Amino acid sequence: MEKHAFTRRNFIGAGLGATIGVGAARGGSFAGQDQVDPTKILNYRPEMEYRRLEMTDTWLSVISLGGLVAVESVYHYAIDHGVNTVHMADGYLGGRAIETLGKVFKTRRKDVYLAVKDTFDDIDVVLKQLNTDYIDFLMYPRHKADEVDDPEMLESLEKYQKAGKVRFAGLTSHGDVKAATAAGIESGVFSLVMPVLNQPNLEAMDSDLARARQKGVGIMAMKTMKGIEDDNLQVGYLKKVLQNPAVTTVLKGFGSFEMFDSYLSAARETLSAAEDRSLYRHAQANRQSNCMMCDACREACPNGVEISTILRSKDYYAEQLGDWETALETYRGIPAGKVGDDRCLLCGDCEPACPNGIDIVNRTTAARRLFSAPPAPGVLGHSV
Ligand code: SF4
Ligand code: SF4
């Protein structure tokens, strides 16, 4: 195992951060899956769990590293502990994240599967930044069911695959998550889909996850801890997500190496009845503040305001994670006219459409106030 110069310190205070993903194959195998053959697993380490991604005949590590990372030692630590999947986009952290991963790939590219969100203009520029010739999973962002097989996307995929620059297609969704993911699963185009799987969505998407398993489509669950701040509850929820055999890997932000270690341990443990009860109580108590990104509110809004993105920027990135940089980047990425501002009529039509009963108008108004006068750097910190 490679050794790298890091200490077991909490690095939230140092302004560092990472995102970790988790899937599971318990004790070397998982219900309904083959016994793990270590020789078939990329970067196999006995302390890590792995699940088979059926359509690609690959095994993904139960913990995989997400893209909001600009710290080389985090990547090395995760890979040294058996992580074999990473996710990246060119815009994360203003480009610092991809630059960091490119440095890591000078020595570690062979150890991991690379998933990249298709947010770039030129794939060759991205490949060069990452010090690689190919992407394992090109993740197409699709936020509506009718966008999952548009001809332009299929054409680009075919071109990249013929050129050997992309191996498989994936889908990621931040809007109308349930419908877009379900359509992606049925399409036959994607081997891996990446839905938001926070507490309300895990429940709402149960049948979609089962269908993914039937079809052999992998699930890379992201933003699982959205709405859960307590560390013990997070670890419990990790176990709960992993109990679902459809889930291949789960993305999770972590703020310290100790936290990574606790997630790694949890990935091998069974959810207790007490943990499950605590999670249920938390889900019930927090339903009205935990947006599941279904976009029912946007459909009801006469101006199509991108409410779920506004809430994600404020409630999740800024207030829960303290990741001001990503919060601001995401909020400012909302197209003009869709961010509310003077276009929000304060009509409240969005609120009855929300299945979680979220007080949308108050929250979007607070978001506009927050982002129109951003706090000074360091006030909210940066932890993802
Ligand atoms: S209150 Fe604003 S965001 Fe909600 S439906 Fe009316 S215009 Fe849209
Ligand atoms: S605010 Fe409610 S309706 Fe809108 S995306 Fe979130 S959960 Fe869905």
Per-residue confidence (pLDDT) for residue 31, from 0 to 100: 45
Specify the range with the lowest mean pLDDT, choosing from 4-13, 134-143, 260-269. Answer: 4-13
Task: With a cut of 90, say whether residue 18 has pLDDT above it.
Answer: no
* Domain annotation covers residue 285: no
CA-CA distances (angstroms) from residue 367 to 298, 310, 321?
Answer: 16, 7, 15
Q: Around Cβ 55, how many Cβ atoms within 10 Å?
A: 16
* CATH code (residue 190): 3.20.20.100
What contacts 181, CB < 8 A, 6 or more positions away? 171, 173, 193, 195, 205, 208
* Domain annotation covers residue 234: yes
Judge if the beta carbon of residue 196 lies within 6 A of ligand 2. no
* Domain annotation covers residue 8: no
Same domain, 241 and 319: no
Closest CA to 48 of 270, 272, 261, 275: 261
Same domain, 158 and 246: yes
Q: Around Cβ 348, how many Cβ atoms within 10 Å?
A: 11
Residue nearest to atom 4 of ligand 2 (CA): 297
Task: With a cut of 50, say whether residue 7 has pLDDT above it.
Answer: no
Is 106:112 a contact under the CB 8 Å cutoff? no
Is 109:131 a contact under the CB 8 Å cutoff? yes
CA 225 to CA 247: how far, in whole Å? 15
Task: With a cut of 50, say whether residue 381 has pLDDT above it.
Answer: no
Per-residue confidence (pLDDT) for residue 146, from 0 to 100: 87
Nearest ligand for residue 344 CA: 1
User: Per-residue confidence at 346, pLDDT binned at 50, 70, 90?
Assistant: confident
Task: With a cut of 90, say whether residue 111 has pLDDT above it.
Answer: yes
Per-residue confidence (pLDDT) for residue 383, from 0 to 100: 39
Tens digits of residue pLDDT in 363-380: 999 998 888 876 665 554
* Domain annotation covers residue 379: no
Question: Separation of 342 CA from ligand 1 center, angstroms?
Answer: 10
Nearest ligand for residue 364 CA: 1
Which residues are near ligand 1 (CB < 6 Å)?
301-303, 305, 307, 340, 344-350, 360-361, 364
Same domain, 120 and 224: yes
What is the amino acid identity at position 302? P
Question: Separation of 352 CA from ligand 1 center, angstroms?
Answer: 11
* Domain annotation covers residue 288: no
Same domain, 263 and 306: no
Nearest ligand for residue 316 CA: 2
Same domain, 209 and 90: yes
Q: Which residues of 253-270 are buried (b: 16+ CB within 10 A; e: fewer)?
A: bbbbbebbebbbebbbee
Same domain, 304 and 266: no
Number of domains making up the chain: 2
Per-residue confidence (pLDDT) for residue 23, from 0 to 100: 37
Same domain, 300 and 355: yes
Per-residue confidence (pLDDT) for residue 149, from 0 to 100: 83
Same domain, 241 and 307: no
71 lies in which domain range? 18-273
Tens digits of residue pLDDT in 233-260: 999 999 999 999 999 998 876 667 888 8
* Domain annotation covers residue 283: no
Same domain, 269 and 307: no
Question: Separation of 356 CA from ligand 1 center, angstroms?
Answer: 16
Mean of the per-residue pLDDT values of the chain: 85
Same domain, 106 and 251: yes
Judge if the beta carbon of residue 292 lies within 6 A of ligand 2. yes
Question: Separation of 356 CA from ligand 2 center, angstroms?
Answer: 7
What contacts 265, CB < 8 A, 6 or more positions away? none
* Domain annotation covers residue 338: yes
Residue % of the chain over a pLDDT of 90: 60
Nearest ligand for residue 346 CA: 1
* Domain annotation covers residue 289: no
CA 177 to CA 311: how far, in whole Å? 15
Q: Around Cβ 155, how many Cβ atoms within 10 Å?
A: 10
DSSP letters for 229-246: --HHHHHHHHHHHHHSTT
Tokens read off for 215: 């079809």
Task: With a cut of 80, say whether residue 27 has pLDDT above it.
Answer: no
Same domain, 313 and 364: yes
Judge if the beta carbon of residue 291 lies within 6 A of ligand 2. yes
Judge if the beta carbon of residue 301 lies within 6 A of ligand 2. no
Task: With a cut of 90, say whether residue 354 has pLDDT above it.
Answer: yes
Same domain, 269 and 348: no
Per-residue confidence (pLDDT) for residue 35, from 0 to 100: 64
Average pLDDT over residues 70-99: 90
Tens digits of residue pLDDT in 264-319: 999 999 999 999 999 999 999 998 889 999 999 999 999 889 999 999 999 988 98
Is 87:21 a contact under the CB 8 Å cutoff? yes
* Residue 290 CA, closest ligand 2 atom number: 7
Per-residue confidence (pLDDT) for residue 257, from 0 to 100: 85
